[in-house]
Structure 1
């Protein structure tokens, strides 16, 4: 856990996970997003990627993992997030979500982070920015 005063610009943290079929099906069940692109191999084989892809929001959710568990850490409050989906995520891809402190919003004592998710080849699959209220102490 890091408070506002303990975080410096450039501080970063990351989390990695390999996406399994189970991850995608559980996410689909929790969210109700049963788009065939994610859960129907036959239908997905006829789509633009010729195979099933993971939900973009599943990939983006790993950013929350980093912010909530590492930097700033437990007690953080997510204020906002932009997400730009840059590339598909396939079953078996290993994703790494990374956050980097890029601005300290002094008036409110909030912090803006650059957020990226890359695959095992280093390709950016999700990018954006998050604003977070760090824990008070």
Structure 2
């Protein structure tokens, strides 16, 4: 076990979600739900406008896990997610990963995963299990 994977170790990544990001995600996944891509339709929903795909937001967590903590070579085993607030175009989202249990002898590590917007509002809450690279 390394000290960077000690309980409480954390890392973050921030990104402003653009219209291009949302449209690109729709194109890649085929998820053209009009709440994500149609201004007129989305304006009639409870959100009063377009929102980002939840899994686009969750993808920012993957960035942290794969590039920062635990980092390159990490194997993502599972993710539990709760979407707590919509993400809109031009929201700046900060994904945060925190080690909740240090690696076991087999390299399993449990993480707390969250995303907040520019106002500090929690938009995603979850947990993940990964195998850290040795």
Q: TM-score, normalised by structure 1?
A: 0.94
Q: Which runs of 5+ in 1 are unaligned?
A: none
Shift of 1:5: 3.1
Structure 1 residue 105, shift from structure 2 partner: 5.0
Q: Distance in 1 between matches of 2:73 and 2:37?
A: 34
User: 1:1-137, aligned counterparts within 5 Å?
Assistant: 4-6=1-3, 7-136=5-134
Alpha-carbon distance, 1:59 to partner: 0.4
3-state SS, counterpart of residue 58 of structure 1: helix
**What CA distance in whole angstroms lies between the structure 2 residues aligned with 1:109 and 1:120?**
34
8 A Cα contact 2:107 2:133, kept in partner: no
Matched residues, number? 133
Per the normalisation by structure 2, the TM-score is 0.96
Partner Cα separation in structure 1 for residue 84 and residue 28 of structure 2: 24
Q: Which string of whole-angstrom CA distances, capped at 9 and with x for unpartnered residues, describes residues 57-116 of structure 1?
A: 000110000000000110000010001000000100000000000013525221100000
Q: Over the residues paired in the alignment, what is the CA RMSD in angstroms?
A: 1.0
2:11 and 2:98 in contact (8 A); partners too:
yes
